């Protein structure tokens, strides 16, 4: 549909202008005289977005018009923030942005009939789990801040959990599409609680086990939380049984509580969360500095590039991991509560578009796939923003599209591509005479 792509094109213009303005603001802060570099950056950015847009125009003409501009907006925002922290990092990020778009296009190219994914669901699940395990494999695994997040094979280093989340969502969507009815029909009420049939309870235990495994073995608390939450969201949407979610949550909390009281590193995270002032110079430093940075932001913030990241004149970080974990705190610091609300609003809009795609989708797999991808994306944003604002213990996941990190940006572009694929299919079928009526019946 032409008008959808036209809307997308029009929406990309302000995004490119925003990037230009953001760079201008950073340059204005760091140099006394302005040059036209920000215009050049803006033009590059717009050209890359335009190319992507033209590709979408050809391949997915009916796909959701707002998703890509919203994602581009977050990327633009992230590029400016990272540039303001370190221009070298921003160059990396820009390269990854382009690489992300290449993989975005490849995904669309190769998975036009994305239901093939269903056929390989166990392979995909296995790949997803292997990816999670990889950081603990000697020789290629890397430990970052106590968590086993990274893999390095030759010159290529990446964080497999970012890709693994897509694989696991694909598997769950496919598995639940097939078993949802059995799960609903076979459910029994025991002591007033609706339990899923035992035979199909297995996968739930497997996923729960995987989450606990990540919590303890890979020490990736954030991803563990995010995976399990996305699983529960999918389970709820697939079965309409809130009691399943409640049981899952209870299991997760029980497991988390058990490990929080027995495994030292989990325990430490929780203790820092509850009382960061206990060790303000060591364990509590990051979360305290994150909060202090926000306190300096106020309503309007200190302005782009005007916040403190290191202690002036030294390399001692004042806001540790400003380009990754605590980038949201830096946003609050420099753009204030209003700027931060803007960022949260963009994530919410993306979630809204994602769920809209799920609503419009015709078949169960598409619905669950769109729901799962959207949920895991939104949970990721919640886990890290919630972490740096002390809603939950701080764990190291990236803020999607904004944080520095190649794996994160590339994986999230693949995730976006899948959503657009679902969207294009749904709208194409809706536009066919009678197609919509069939879809409603299947819901």
State the binding string over 126-165 for another protein (x if CB under 8 A, else -): ----------------------------------------
- Name which position in 205, 240, 249, 250 contacts another protein (CB under 8 A): 240
d(CA 1, CA 60): 9
- Name which position in 86, 92, 271, 296 contacts another protein (CB under 8 A): 296
d(CA 366, CA 23): 39
Q: Could you say whether residue 389 binds another protein (CB under 8 A)? A: yes
State the binding string over 256-295 for another protein (x if CB under 8 A, else -): ---------------------x--xx--x---x--xxxxx
Q: Could you say whether residue 66 binds another protein (CB under 8 A)? A: no
- Name which position in 10, 13, 116, 359 contacts another protein (CB under 8 A): 359
Nearer to another protein by C-beta: 209 or 298?
A: 298
Within 207-236, the residues that bind another protein by CB under 8 A are: 233, 236
Q: Could you say whether residue 413 binds another protein (CB under 8 A)? A: no
- Name which position in 90, 332, 411, 414 contacts another protein (CB under 8 A): 332
**Exposed, middle or buried by CB within 10 Å (0-12, 13-18, 19+), for 109?**
exposed
In the complex, least distance from residue 199 CB atom to another protein, rounded to whole angstroms: 22
Query: Are 123 and 129 contacting, i.e. CB atoms less than 8 angstroms apart?
Result: no
Q: Which residues are at the interface with another protein (CB under 8 A)?
A: 30, 233, 236-238, 240, 277, 280-281, 284, 288, 291-300, 303, 305, 308-314, 318, 332, 336-337, 340-341, 344, 347-348, 351-352, 355, 358-359, 364, 367-368, 371, 375, 378, 382, 385-386, 389-391, 443
């Amino acid at each position: 549909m032409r008008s959808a792509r036209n809307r997308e094109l029009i929406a990309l213009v302000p995004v490119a202008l925003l990037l230009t303005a953001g760079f201008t603001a950073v340059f204005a802060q760091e140099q006394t005289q302005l040059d036209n570099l920000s215009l050049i950056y803006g033009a590059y950015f717009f050209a890359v977005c335009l190319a992507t847009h033209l590709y979408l125009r050809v391949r997915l003409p009916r796909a959701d018009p707002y998703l890509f501009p919203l994602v581009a907006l977050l990327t633009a925002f992230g590029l400016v923030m990272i540039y303001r922290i370190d221009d070298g990092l921003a160059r990396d990020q820009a390269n990854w942005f382009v690489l992300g778009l290449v993989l975005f296009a490849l995904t669309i190219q190769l998975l036009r009939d994305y239901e093939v994914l269903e056929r390989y669901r166990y392979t995909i699940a296995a790949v997803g789990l292997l990816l999670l395990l990889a950081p603990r494999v000697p020789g290629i695994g890397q430990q970052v801040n106590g968590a086993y997040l990274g893999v390095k094979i030759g010159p290529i280093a990446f964080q497999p959990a970012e890709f693994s989340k897509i694989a696991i969502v694909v598997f769950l969507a496919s598995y639940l599409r097939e078993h949802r009815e059995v799960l609903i029909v076979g459910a029994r009420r025991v002591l007033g609680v609706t339990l899923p049939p035992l035979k199909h309870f297995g996968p739930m235990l497997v996923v729960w086990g995987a989450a606990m495994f990540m919590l303890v073995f890979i020490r990736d608390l954030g991803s563990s939380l995010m995976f399990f939450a996305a699983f529960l969201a999918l389970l709820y949407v697939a079965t309409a049984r809130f009691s399943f979610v409640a049981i899952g949550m209870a299991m997760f909390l029980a497991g988390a509580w058990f490990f929080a009281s027995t495994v030292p590193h989990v325990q430490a995270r929780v203790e820092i969360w509850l009382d960061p002032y206990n060790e303000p110079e060591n364990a509590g430093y990051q979360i305290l500095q994150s909060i202090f940075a926000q306190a300096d932001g106020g309503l309007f913030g200190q302005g782009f590039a005007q916040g403190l990241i290191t202690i002036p004149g030294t390399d001692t970080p004042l806001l540790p991991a400003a380009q990754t974990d605590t980038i949201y705190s830096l946003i609050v610091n420099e753009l204030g509560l209003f700027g931060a609300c803007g960022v949260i609003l963009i994530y919410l809009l993306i979630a809204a578009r994602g769920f809209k795609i799920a609503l419009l989708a015709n078949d169960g797999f598409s619905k669950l796939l769109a729901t799962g991808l959207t949920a895991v994306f939104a949970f990721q944003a919640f886990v890290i923003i919630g972490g740096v604002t002390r809603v939950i213990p701080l764990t190291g996941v990236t803020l999607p599209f904004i944080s520095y990190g190649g794996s994160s940006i590339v994986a999230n572009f693949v995730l976006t591509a899948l959503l657009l694929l679902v969207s294009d299919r749904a709208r194409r079928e809706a536009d066919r005479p009678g197609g919509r009526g069939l879809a409603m019946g299947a819901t």
